[in-house]
Amino acid sequence: LSRLLLVHGVTLKLNDKQRCTVARILHGGMIHRQGSLHEGDEIAEINGKSVVNHTVDQLQKIIKESNGVVTMKIIPNVQSRSRTCEMYMRAQFDYDPTKDDLIPCKEAGLKFQTGDIIQIINKQDPNWWQGKVESSASDYAGLIPSPELQEWRVASKSKSREGSQSCSPFAKKKKCKDKYLAKHSSIFDQLDVISYEEVVRLPAFKRKTLVLIGAHGVGRSHIKNALLTKYPEKFSYPVPHTSRPQRKEEENGQEYYFISNEAMTKCISGNELLEYGSFQGSMFGTKFETIQKIHDQGKIAVLDVEPQTLKILRTADFAPLVVFIAPTNTAPQAENLQMIQKESDAIQTTYGHFFDVVLVNNDVDESVKGVEEAMERAISTPQWVPVSWVY
């Protein structure tokens, strides 16, 4: 398909009977505004000459060689008179149509980035939807891969890599070797195939949970503690439970809730923990109930958890603001900083589509201020949230 037809916002294809038909009408283009053609219409004549059994290339040549007004005789497809679709999706991947070998017309594609809100105009084609970036001033829609096509593409690439050894930096962290998510862990691999997330725009509302995500050693604990110290009436940290024996100087419920191995095992089997792990023979975990008690007090629960928990936390029950803490970009890259950077890159690649805010931790005070500003924006301006939070 050539640029010639895209000027008018229409692309063509041959149907099963080898007749040239309108494949799609691009929203906002000249043909769409005129309403003179519809998807599925057959082009029978151009300037009084039959084009039956002509190829798309031949038809393009005829139009290109025509001077002045081009007159077409159309056999309408009555069944294609469908209503315009309108929904909004958050992109969970970057897309450049010029690098996509599957798209039927690169010039008609819509370029977007992870996090962009895309207004879906038409989804009649099972593989190629029409949409436009919500923040764009353009009225023209472009082609984007449908969720089914994108998920098939990602799954196909993943399948081709099966059997290869993982080089994820997470595997090198002995501290987290025994850490598991207490809920839904058996289906996490299936959820890694990402494409879009349907969203709705809500008026400003209070977020219940602040989730700090980042590589180990990036400084999340410092930021968390600074927030808790500065705003004890606003933020609270859910005290974890542990099967470790209580020491003489420790107060139950201060830094840990101390329970027996049997009670801890019961919590795990009952899916009462957001996440849990073992360290030096003792188990540690954060209970959903502890987080809920903070919400009941009208406070914001501050969590510095493993990134896998985002698949559990991103619900209306937790209403989280997810802040990714990236490592400093000003200090010399010593070996430990290089490891932090490597792990950080891996987290951002895998879970970046869940992040609401990304902060570079060059200075703790600046990072705390950045979190404060992000939270203030979230509670004072309209927000795009997953449709599952509402319906």
pLDDT in tens, 221-280: 999 999 999 999 999 999 999 999 999 999 999 999 999 999 999 999 999 999 999 999
The residues, any chain, with a CB within 8 Å of residue 49's CB and separated by 6 or more, are: 62
Cα distances (Å, whole numbers) of residue 75 to 45, 169, 206: 9, 60, 55
In sequence order, what DSSP letters do the residues of 162-226 get, joined into one string?
TTPPP--GGGG-GGGTT-EESSSGGGHHHHT---EEEEEEE-----SEEEEEE-TTSSHHHHHHH
Predicted confidence (pLDDT) per residue in 126-178, tens digit: 999 999 999 888 778 899 999 999 999 988 887 666 654 443 333 333 333 34
Q: Which CATH architecture group holds 200-253+291-389?
A: 3-Layer(aba) Sandwich (3.40)
Q: What is the pLDDT of residue 28?
A: 63
More reliable by pLDDT, 7 or 102: 102
Q: Is the model's pLDDT at 33 over the cut of 70?
A: no
Q: In the prediction, which pLDDT does 78 show?
A: 63
Residue 90: pLDDT band with limits 50, 70, 90: very high
Q: Are the CB atoms for 307 and 192 separated by under 8 Å?
A: no
Inform me whether the pLDDT recorded for 4 exceeds 60: no
Q: Is the pLDDT of residue 209 over 90?
A: yes
pLDDT, position 85: 65
CB 207 within 8 A of CB 379: yes
Task: State residue 8's pLDDT score.
Answer: 56
Cβ neighbourhood burial of 359 (10 Å; 0-12, 13-18, 19+): buried
pLDDT higher than 70, residue 83: no
> Residue 113's pLDDT is what?
95
Tell me the C-alpha distance between 56 and 13, whole Å: 6
- Is residue 29 pLDDT above 70, yes or no? no
pLDDT digits (tens, 9 = 90+) for 18-27: 778 887 777 6
Q: What are the strands of the beta sheet with 300-303, ordered from one edge?
A: 235-236, 300-303, 209-214, 320-326, 357-360
Check whether 374 has a pLDDT greater than 60: yes
* C-alpha–C-alpha distance, residues 300 and 308, integer Å: 21
pLDDT tens per residue, range 268-326: 999 999 999 999 999 999 999 999 999 999 999 999 999 999 999 999 999 999 999 99
Mean pLDDT, the chain, integer: 84
Instruction: Identify whether the C-beta of residue 97 lies closer than 8 Å to the C-beta of residue 142.
Output: yes
Indicate the CATH number for domain 87-158: 2.30.30.40
Q: Is the dihedral of CA 154, 157, 161, 167 positive or negative?
A: negative
What is the structure's pLDDT at 175? Answer: 39
Quote the pLDDT of residue 41.
82
Residue 207, pLDDT > 70, answer: yes
More confident call, 42 vs 345: 345
The class (CATH top level) of 3-80 is mainly beta
User: For the chain, what are the domain ranges?
Assistant: 3-80, 87-158, 200-253+291-389
Give the whole-angstrom CA distance, residue 168 versus residue 265: 29
Of 203, 206, 199, which Cα lies nearest the Cα of 354? 199
- The whole-angstrom separation of Cα 258 and Cα 239 is 10
Angstrom distance (rounded) from CA 190 to CA 198: 18
At residue 2 the predicted structure's pLDDT band, cuts being 50, 70 and 90, is very low
Q: What is the pLDDT of residues 166-196, one digit of tens each?
A: 433 333 333 333 444 444 443 344 446 789 9
Share of the chain above pLDDT 90, in %: 59
| Least confident among 5-9, 154-158, 201-205, 271-275 | 5-9
pLDDT at residue 95 above 70? yes
The amino acid present at 345, given as its one-letter code, is D
Helices within the chain (DSSP H only): 3-6, 30-34, 56-65, 147-160, 188-191, 220-230, 261-269, 288-296, 310-313, 335-351, 364-380
With cut-offs at 50, 70 and 90, classify the pLDDT of residue 38: confident
